[in-house]
Amino acid sequence: MKKPILPLLGLMLFAFSTLAQEKLTINANMPELTDGDPVYLWNAFTKTSDSTYVKNNSFSFSVDVPNGASTFILQAGVNPEKTGLGMFMLMQTGKLNIEGGNGTGFKGAKLTGDAFVSDWLEMEKAMAPADEKLNQIQDLNADFNEARKLGDKSAADAIAKEMGELRKEVAKIGRDFLDQHPTSSASAYVLNAILPDAFSAMEKIEYLSKLSGNALNGVSKKMLMGLTGSETPWIGKQAPDFSQPDVNGKMVSLKDFKGKYVLVDFWASWCTPCRGEAPQLKAIYEKVKDKNISFVSISLDKDKSKWTQAMLEDKMPWQQLSDLVGEQNAAAKAFNVGAVPAKFLIDPSGKVIGVGFKDGSETGKVLEKFLNEHLK
């Protein structure tokens, strides 16, 4: 029996059009470009580069963007810093057009194309005052170090206070932009690159969870993965139910804890950061165990003996579960956990109200503060 050709052609055309949409296309036409000069495009996420040459004062690229978005460095000619033919920009799949120029290189060129272009230009304009303040902080930091070196405590304290005020102003500018641009593809970049120290990990997660539309790109997903072990913005959503065996084989489900707060902690005996957090987690547990909350740790182990040995060594007295299938753990997959440790705080109604709780060495303090705010 012959298969219909038109539907097959339609599927093929759809496949090719989908592949085409995954490309980033850059077209540049500028009088200051010199024929024969090399042009380089470097993807910061994948750490890969592409190159081409200028022809008729023009060049073009058509490249894959595996994560859908990445920060790129574009350089043309042999001395881009002097000629201004170097630029840094967050780009997505789609089109970027670079036209004209007034002799100042890419800075003076007209940039047009898909939404990510206008998102970036708007972000640069909005964050310009923050950039100025960050430069001031950098200069003051040199003065601060010099004052400390000379043993001038009063001068160092005064400079530190001034830097603190500037950081607050930078954070305010950043918050305003993020609040006003929840769909901007540049929002995650602001959080991750421009203001990496202005927000706690929990604040970053909350902002990332509010993003939508064009803002849900490779940058925001990469940030969420780094902060929570998951690319899914869970806050405010109903937690997926799960059933896992305890050390004696008894099945325990999330619904068994209905009406209580539940801290779900994904870990593994082989996970060094997980084991390092255990003392902090135990200290917090001892402070809140008599309140309306249950701790549930789910291990991504395969070897039961290693799992139970780690439990004994780390002295974790709360509920311990594992289906012993490693990283294919059913509960971990339900929560889209991509790395451990990963934590989710669920309220009595079953909604996720907190995730991650990663803040460097301050993991315990961040989690304890969050729990104290809810367990009153």
Q: Do residues 25 and 94 lie in contact, with contact meaning Cβ atoms separated by under 8 Å?
A: yes
Q: Do residues 331 and 352 lie in contact, with contact meaning Cβ atoms separated by under 8 Å?
A: no
* Rounded alpha-carbon distances, angstroms, from residue 75 to 61, 84, 97: 12, 9, 15
Q: Which of 274, 321, 332, 352 is catalytic?
A: 274
Integer Cα distance of 298 and 317 in angstroms: 13
Beta strands in the chain (DSSP E): 23-29, 38-43, 48-53, 58-64, 69-76, 86-92, 94-99, 110-113, 243-245, 251-253, 261-267, 293-299, 319-321, 342-346, 352-355
Residue 274 annotated to the active site: yes
Helix (H, G, I), strand (E, B) or coil at 370: helix
How many residues make up the chain in this entry?
376
Integer Cα distance of 374 and 376 in angstroms: 6
Instruction: With both helix axes pointing from N to C terminus, report the angle between 363-374 and 201-210 in degrees, rounded to the nearest 10.
Output: 60
Integer Cα distance of 296 and 300 in angstroms: 13
Distance from CA of residue 182 to its chain's centroid? 15
User: Tokens 């004062």, residue?
Assistant: 57
Residue 199 phi/psi, 5-degree rounding, is -130, 150
Starting from the edge strand earliest in sequence, which strands make up the sheet with 94-99, in order? 58-64, 23-29, 94-99, 110-113
Q: Tell me which residues are annotated as active site.
A: 274
